[in-house]
Chains A and B, each alone.
Chain A
Amino acid sequence: MEATAPSLARIRRIGLQTIVRREYGRIIRIWGQTLVPPAVTATLYFVIFGSLIGRRIGPMGGYDYMQYIAPGLIMMAVITNSYGNVVSSFFGAKFGKHIEELLVAPLPNWLIVIGYISGGVMRGLLVGTVVTCVALFFTHIPVENPLLVAGSVLLTSVVFALGGFFNAIFAKNFDQISWFPTFILTPMIYLGGVFYSVSLLPEWAQRLSYANPILYMVNAFRHGFLGTSDVKVGLAFAIMTAFAIAMFTLVVTLMNRGTGIRE
């Protein structure tokens, strides 16, 4: 046996590295489910909405339609994959009971949450990179402000990875992990300015759209690439940061209470 037990700081550092490595391994191991489908979907979007329909739509926000929707499509992939990775990985661990490996280990709940969120962010960014590569086959995408691009994509993936964690905490079966993405998340993404500028909408619909947080994320990201946005970028970052902090606090509180994981 070792002469001395590892310190809590070392346990936490190595524990977090292990969770992150395991999540990364999972994403790569099931690449056919994680990395390929977003590339196929993005290709279809670019072919149908960009090339075929987009030509008839004409320019939007000063850019051709393909260029305009590219940041939105990248962000859509980041959102769905950050969310999907955490909800399936954490619910899978609950369902298969191997979440107990982490619950009995000397790791605090906030660190377990960070580990899973890192997995979601990794997948979101990997898929975002894949979709960006697909987009570059179809169009040129200028980058006006790389920091804005990086900041908005990172914060958005954190928020939706936390959303996936929240869903997985309460889910009792596989139906319940697909319910929220199907009925809430997808409509919010489609109505969040991915395919159009909200300035095209009637005023009541514009007001409604401003209540959709995804609108701010997509527009902050688009502003980073194209320098055009339907919302104030500062407000968008404030909303994303507030969501990230609130969601993190919420899921850690639920974990500490043992909701959905402890009897």
Chain B
Amino acid sequence: MKALSIRSLTKTYGNGVQALRGIDLDVQEGDFFALLGPNGAGKTTIIGIIVSLVTKSGGNVEVFGYDIDRALAHAKSCIGLVPQEINFNQFEKVFTIIVNQAGFYGIPRRLALERAERYLRQLQLWDKRDQIARSLSGGMKRRLMIARALVHEPRLLILDEPTAGVDIEIRRSMWAFLRGINEQGTTIILTTHYLEEAESLCRNIAIIDGGRIIENDSMAGVIRKLSHETFVLNLRCAITAPPPLPGYVSRMTDDHTLEVEVSKEQSLNDIFARLTQGGFEVVSMRNKVNRLEELFMRLVENRGAASAQGS
């Protein structure tokens, strides 16, 4: 079953800005789906329309088969939202925020109290339950919003940049938590600027730019489309000039570091063989940037160049 089905979705704001120009998108039940795009691409507008915070200009949206024009309440009851901006009452206690949210979704009070405890414990906020939300750190506020979104146990969890400004340790614990939730059957849609996060968590991906979907495939399929990757090689001995690597674009970044661009048709074995032959010893290697990030940048840059040419 489709958790989300979007057809010909358009949105033009009152100031004339066309945020969405005909979006078609499907997310299957159980998926962990990445919705990526540069700032202002339209990601938050799509999410806003799905949860009815933004009124669409045209098109259709269905959540688990419920059309938001005809069965909005049913559609909404399937969704949990973790928005980009903090949007809880900062003067309320942590526990009260979660229990109230459960009430807004029709969860009886006794069950709401049990679930509030469960999710606050899972997100390491139980000892903060009696604190006023304003006093929490940035990372805790993000986790509080995740606990709040989960308390009615939605079938579809939408996370709009949930780890923005969160330190790496908490980010990784949030990833593990979200993986667990997804494995238990919750469909997750994630927008993030940390492409490593999207690559690590998501099975399918859509990239949006200028209000249009410019890529929509499985994560593996998207990564396969990457025509070039740049590798950073750390050499044991210092060098004064780049080793000869005919057919490859390479450059020194310092006397122990070499960057080599490798296309799909070329092979790393060949590079290592040539370096070994020349007496260069490689001690470590890494991608210069995350692969998804590289693809993302190329797609967005290509689109930018195409629109510049068009104009």
Contact = CB atoms under 8 A, between A and B. Distances in A.
A97 B105 contact: no
B105 A106 contact: yes
Interface stretch (A4-12, A37-45, A61-69): A4-12
Interface in B62-113: 72-74, 76-79, 81, 83, 85-90, 96, 100-101, 103-109
Interface in A199-228: none
Contacts of B108: 14
A175 interface: no
Interface string A79-108: 000000000000001001110111111111
Interface stretch (B21-29, B48-56, B245-253, B288-296): B48-56
Contact of B76 (A10, A18, A97, A104): A104
B73 A11 contact: yes
A258 interface: yes
A249 interface: no
Contact of B55 (A18, A107, A263): A263
Interface string A242-263: 0000000000000000100011
A178 interface: no
A107 B153 contact: no
Q: How large is the interface on B (under 10, 10 to 19, 20 to 34, 35 or more residues)?
A: 35 or more
Nearest to B103: A18
In this complex, the member of A1, A8, A93, A105 whose beta carbon has the largest number of chain B beta carbons within 10 angstroms is: A105
B contact patch SS:
loop
B79 A10 contact: no
Contact of A15 (B14, B86, B104): B104
Contacts of A5: 77-78
Nearest to B185: A1
Contacts of B74: 8, 106
Nearest to A13: B106
A97 B84 CA distance: 12
B53 A103 contact: yes
B272 interface: no
A14 B185 contact: no
B105 A105 contact: yes
Given A106-B76, A263-B13, A101 B88 contact: yes
B86 A97 contact: yes
In this complex, the member of A10, A13, A14 whose beta carbon has the largest number of chain B beta carbons within 10 angstroms is: A14
In this complex, the member of A6, A8, A11, A25 whose beta carbon has the largest number of chain B beta carbons within 10 angstroms is: A11
Contacts of A106: 72-74, 76-77, 105-106
Contacts of A172: none
A18 B99 CA distance: 9
B160 to A, nearest CB: 12
A262 B51 CA distance: 11
B182 to A, nearest CB: 13
B73 A104 contact: no
Contacts of B77: 5-6, 11, 106
Nearest to A10: B106
Contacts of A101: 87-88, 100-101, 104, 148
19 contacts: A2-B153, A5-B77, A7-B106, A11-B106, A14-B103, A14-B106, A22-B96, A97-B85, A100-B53, A101-B101, A103-B53, A104-B53, A104-B76, A105-B101, A106-B72, A106-B74, A106-B76, A262-B55, A263-B48
Interface of B: 13-14, 48, 51-55, 72-74, 76-79, 81, 83, 85-90, 96, 100-101, 103-109, 148, 153, 184-185
Given A14-B109, A96-B89, A107-B73, 13 more contacts: A5-B77, A6-B107, A15-B104, A15-B106, A96-B87, A100-B53, A103-B52, A104-B52, A104-B53, A105-B76, A105-B101, A262-B53, A263-B14
